[in-house]
């Protein structure tokens, strides 16, 4: 049985060894999150996301809480105050038709979020791709507007006492909607568009919001054992 700690406890992970389960999104507010870029451009809100029946490429946001929603295009990225190293990340994501986002593990290694439903052979920019590194082995995408579940097993890069990198980051496994997309893929460097472009022993989770509408929910991070 998983245990989810309150936000005040989660924030302690920014300076302590990541050793407990964490729920960086409290489902009620944007407390514990930072905006990358101009805050005035942010489209992030807390509510319930629904694909707009009149415009399939847009989301509408209901008043109920529970989901982290980037309602419109042209926004900014958002990342957690809480940081982690080796971890298993579980979350659900929903994109409207034609939309594009990304999950940046440790703020620097992007797993692509994209409306790739029905594509016969997914490429390096499709849903589940390790952006710039490897396309997914299968297309596990659901229809736009449907919730999709990621499970990400990630090993952080290693550094010695002087800060020199001694081991690359590793995606041990990436699963989408129950299908394995990647196994044991090393990341020699971060992907473009991360929090600061610097590899480190611990980092946040970041969601891309400067491309298109997207929603996330049920975000849970636990230590990789």
pLDDT tens by residue, 128-155: 999 989 999 999 999 999 999 999 999 9
Range of the domain at 48: 7-223
pLDDT of residue 106 exceeding 70, the answer is yes
Q: Is the confidence at residue 42, as pLDDT, over 70?
A: yes
Mean pLDDT value across residues 81-93: 97
Q: Dig out the tokens for 76 from the structure.
A: 């900014």
Residue 1 belongs to a domain:
no
What pLDDT, on the 0 to 100 scale, is given for residue 7? 39
pLDDT average, residue stretch 81-109: 97
In the chain, the number of structural domains is: 1
The pLDDT, as a whole number, for residue 20 is: 60
- CATH for 37: 2.60.120.560
Give the other-Cβ count within 10 Å of 180's Cβ: 14
Contacts of 207 (CB under 8 A, 6+ apart): 68, 70, 77, 78, 79, 101, 102, 103, 104, 214, 216
In a domain, 112, yes or no: yes
Q: Are 223 and 142 in contact (CB under 8 A)?
A: no
Q: Does residue 123 fall inside a structural domain?
A: yes
Residue 6 above 90 pLDDT? no
pLDDT tens digits, 167-222: 999 999 999 999 999 999 999 999 999 999 999 999 999 999 999 999 999 999 99
pLDDT tens figures, 112-132: 999 999 999 999 999 999 998
User: Does 2 reside within a domain?
Assistant: no
Q: Higher pLDDT residue, 55 or 104?
A: 104
Helix count and strand count (H, E) for the chain? 1, 14
Judge whether residue 13 has pLDDT over 60.
no
Asked if residue 177 is part of any domain, the answer here is yes
| DSSP SS3 for 75 | coil
How, if at all, do strands 109-114 and 87-94 pair?
unpaired
Q: Shortest CA distance to 29 belongs to which of 83, 69, 82?
A: 69
Tokens 């805050």 belong to: 39
Give the model's confidence band at 8: pLDDT under 50 very low, under 70 low, under 90 confident, else very high. Answer: very low
Model pTM? 0.89
């Amino acid at each position: 049985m998983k245990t989810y700690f309150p936000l005040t406890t989660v924030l302690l992970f920014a300076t302590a060894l990541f050793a407990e389960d964490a729920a960086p999104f409290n489902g009620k507010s944007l407390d514990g999150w930072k905006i990358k870029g101009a805050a005035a451009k942010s489209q992030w809100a807390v509510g319930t996301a629904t694909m707009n029946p009149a415009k399939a490429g847009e989301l509408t946001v209901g008043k109920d809480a529970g989901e982290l929603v980037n309602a419109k295009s042209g926004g900014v990225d958002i990342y957690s105050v809480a940081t982690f190293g080796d971890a298993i990340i579980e979350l659900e994501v929903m994109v409207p038709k034609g939309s594009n986002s990304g999950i940046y593990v440790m703020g620097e290694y992007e797993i692509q979020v994209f409306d790739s439903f029905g594509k016969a052979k997914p490429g390096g920019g499709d849903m589940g791709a390790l952006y710039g590194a490897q396309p997914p082995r299968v297309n596990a995408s659901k229809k736009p507007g449907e919730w999709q579940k990621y499970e990400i097993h990630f090993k952080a890069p290693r550094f010695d006492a002087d800060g020199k990198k001694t081991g690359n980051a590793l995606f041990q496994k990436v699963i989408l909607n129950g299908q394995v997309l990647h196994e044991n893929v090393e990341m020699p460097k971060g992907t473009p568009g991360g929090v600061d472009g610097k590899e480190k022993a611990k980092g946040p989770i970041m969601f891309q919001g400067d491309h298109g509408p997207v929603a996330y929910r049920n975000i849970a991070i636990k230590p990789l054992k």
